Amino acid sequence: MTTTQSGKINLLGLNRQAMQDFFATLGEKSYRAEQALKWIHFHGIKDIDAMTNFSKSLREKMLTVAEIRPPEIAFESTAPDGTHKWVIKLNDGNCIETVFIPEKTRGTLCVSSQVGCILNCDFCSTGKQGFSRNLESAEIIGQVWIAARSLSENKGTHDHAVTNVVMMGMGEPLLNFDNVVNSMSIMLDDFCYGLSKRRVTLSTAGLVPAMKQLREVSDVALAVSLHAPNDELRNVLVPINKKYPLKELMRVCKDYFKDQPRRYVTMEYVMLAGVNDQPEHAKQLIALLKGVPSKVNLIPFNPFPNTIYKRSDQATIDHFRETLMAANINCITRKTRGQEIDAACGQLVGQVQDRTRRIERLQKRALKQEQTADLQSAS
């Protein structure tokens, strides 16, 4: 159970069962949990005294042991295309990033699950920032709370602009399993945000045992950060592949929605010029996905400082997509949104107190390469 710096229970991070347990400790009926959830998540209140259908004595009891403590907005900006980014400051000084992408028929919120990311995928700016810690439940659902409240205030209505949530922000969600699953249950709860299981998506780099566990406890949509059609290349781009190679990953993907024939796993595939975008890669991908209920999202690479990769040109992306579609693979090219404010896929960095010292190592490596180049040019 999440507690605040004052040692009180943070009601923001409690799902329905935990909220019922909380009220049981106060000697209250279970229906109080549903009322509290609606106040916090639907109405977006952060003051227990604003729960006007609770007696004054109950509110006083609650205030002695609990509070509603969302994370703090450090900075926010909006791109010309309407994409909105919040930089959210946590109690320990770390910062995470959350992005809202508005479209005509939906509004998608990209939510972070960790401060940084431990997996260090080679083409991802987030991974290059290192890793600090997992987010607590209140810090994960707090991002949804902030976005829903902010966007509703701008619209002047309680109708939430957030229709979809994707766990595709900073971090690998399945390495923070319990807090992520708990937070997604709050997103799905009719007394909170009431999102459909098909409108909440968890994206993973392919942690096979945790994927199997997720299938047993949650029915949200699944996306896999694939990015390569063979083990040799994926070992470089997505290093966790060395532990859970493609054969194992595809086996769990094939069976993931076996009892739900109309559902499929989304395969995310970033397009890197000359690296994974050639005709032979498309053919390998077709063979890899044979028999796997899936669709492919092609993601134009979003550059960041000091990366060695470049984005595939549009003609190459189009030809790759057409090759997959000719093999009856459902395939789309994702639009790049929010690049002007570093809010595009793979660009979220936040402010990470890096326990892995990854940034330091990368800086030393870059300095060594620069010194070597200087010596070679001088000789």
Q: What is the pLDDT of residues 24-48, one digit of tens each?
A: 999 999 999 999 999 999 999 999 9
Catalytic residue check, 97: yes
pLDDT for 373 beyond 80: no
CATH code, 9-67: 1.10.150.530
Q: What is the pLDDT of residues 341-360, one digit of tens each?
A: 554 454 455 565 656 665 56
Determine the residue type at 199: R
Name the 3-class secondary structure at 178.
helix
Catalytic residue check, 121: no
Q: Name the active-site residue from 95, 97, 139, 268.
A: 97
Give the confidence band of 157 by pLDDT, cuts at 50, 70, 90.
Answer: very low
Six-digit token pair at 115? Answer: 């401060």
Strand partners, 331: 296
Phi, psi of 326 (to 5 degrees): -65, -25
Domain ranges of the chain: 9-67, 72-362
SS3 content of the chain, % helix, strand, coil (to 5): 40, 20, 40
pTM: 0.88
Give the confidence band of 120 by pLDDT, cuts at 50, 70, 90.
Answer: confident
pLDDT at 26: 96
Give the confidence band of 377 by pLDDT, cuts at 50, 70, 90.
Answer: low
CA distances from 265 to 80, 89, 156, 179, 242 (A): 31, 33, 37, 22, 21
Six-digit token pair at 163? Answer: 């229709």
Q: What is the pLDDT of residues 75-107, one digit of tens each?
A: 998 888 889 999 999 999 999 999 999 988 899
CATH code 3.40.50.10260 for 72-362: no
pLDDT at 158: 46
Q: Name the active-site residue from 110, 192, 253, 345.
A: 345
Q: What is the pLDDT of residues 194-214, one digit of tens each?
A: 999 999 999 999 999 999 999
